[in-house]
Amino acid sequence: MIGDIIKTETFYDVPVRIVQHDGRTMIPLNDIADGITHDRSGLRKLFHRNEEILGKWSGLAKLATPQGTQEQICLNHEGVTAILMKVDFARVKEKTRRQRIIDFQEWAATTLSQIMRGEVVPVKREALEDLVRQHLQIADYMTQFAHVDRGIAASVALARVESESGSDLSWCKALIRKDRQQPPGYLTPTQIGYELGGLSARDINRMLQQLGYQYYLGDRWQPTEIGQNFGENLPFTVINRNGGSHSDYQLKWSPLIVQKLRDHLNGTQAVLAQG
């Protein structure tokens, strides 16, 4: 049965599809993996090891992909909660990735559950505009008088509006720039992987590192000198279940990097074919 994508939410700027399948509202397992930066095949193996339990909360839906329509595992609200409990984030050494898994669990327990159960009722346009104006005013005061980073302040303000209104402002958040005023439209590793035929974010990060565009420092990716021509750390905010928020910067890339990686992949494949 073909699943209907009824809404796309964003987590850490990663698209998470909400699918209507067989009378149930569900989330593709691949989207969960991308959201928590987990290897897709690894999460599928975890699902199959626990399929006896997760089976009743899952289904196979045919979804559009760059390779055409494919059958994908999807989980309903109970299934999402259950598989996240199986992911042992305490064993994850990278601080940023460990926090991301925790944030996803909290986000899924609030935002996704509300969407799935139809509890989010978008506010009227006039009320939404007032809400945006109020929160951006506060953000502006924070940048002027508390010396808060401008990008982080705007990111927190819009994330708060989304949380309070149930509206999807991802298009608006994509316009937030750092003080260097880089043009919008930059891509996450997940989005780059989608453009290259469904590669995982981990594959893309590894490739960018091998080609000398980025390196890992502390708990996040940083662009190298040549990488600064194509990428920059941009702000994001996630609202937690308790009403608090987690803000940070994520390295994103110009669409120009897609062609460079595609050329690299094509060159590698040509060498292998000759061998």
Q: Could you tell me the residue range of the domain that residue 46 belongs to?
A: 4-116
d(CA 180, CA 61): 43
| CA distances for 128 relative to 93, 135, 240, angstroms | 40, 11, 21
- Regarding whether 258 and 151 lie in a shared domain, the answer is yes
44-83 exposure pattern, b = at least 16 Cβ within 10 A, e = fewer: eebbeeeeeebeebbbebebeeeeeeeebbbbbbebbbbb
Classify residue 44 by its DSSP letter.
Answer: H
pLDDT tens, position by position, 201-259? 889 999 999 999 999 987 789 999 999 999 888 877 776 656 667 777 888 898 889 98
Whether residue 273 lies inside any domain: the answer is no
Whether residue 56 lies inside any domain: the answer is yes
pLDDT tens, position by position, 135-148? 888 878 777 776 66
User: Looking at residue 214, what is its pLDDT?
Assistant: 95
Whether residue 274 lies inside any domain: the answer is no
The total number of structural domains that make up the chain: 2
* Whether the Cβ atoms of residue 164 and residue 186 lie closer than 8 Å to each other: no
**Assigned token pair, 111:** 């935002």
- More confidently predicted of 137 and 269: 137
- Regarding whether 130 and 107 lie in a shared domain, the answer is no
User: Looking at residue 185, what is its pLDDT?
Assistant: 59
CATH, residue 89: 3.10.260
d(CA 4, CA 63): 8
pTM of the model: 0.51
pLDDT interval class at 13 (50, 70, 90)? confident
Find the helix packing angle between 40-49 and 77-86, rounded to 10°: 100
- Regarding whether 130 and 43 lie in a shared domain, the answer is no
- Regarding whether 9 and 112 lie in a shared domain, the answer is yes
- Regarding whether 88 and 135 lie in a shared domain, the answer is no
Please name the residue ranges forming H helices in 26-94.
29-35, 40-49, 51-54, 77-86
Residue 259 CA, chain-centre distance (Å), reads 22
**% the chain with pLDDT above 90:** 14
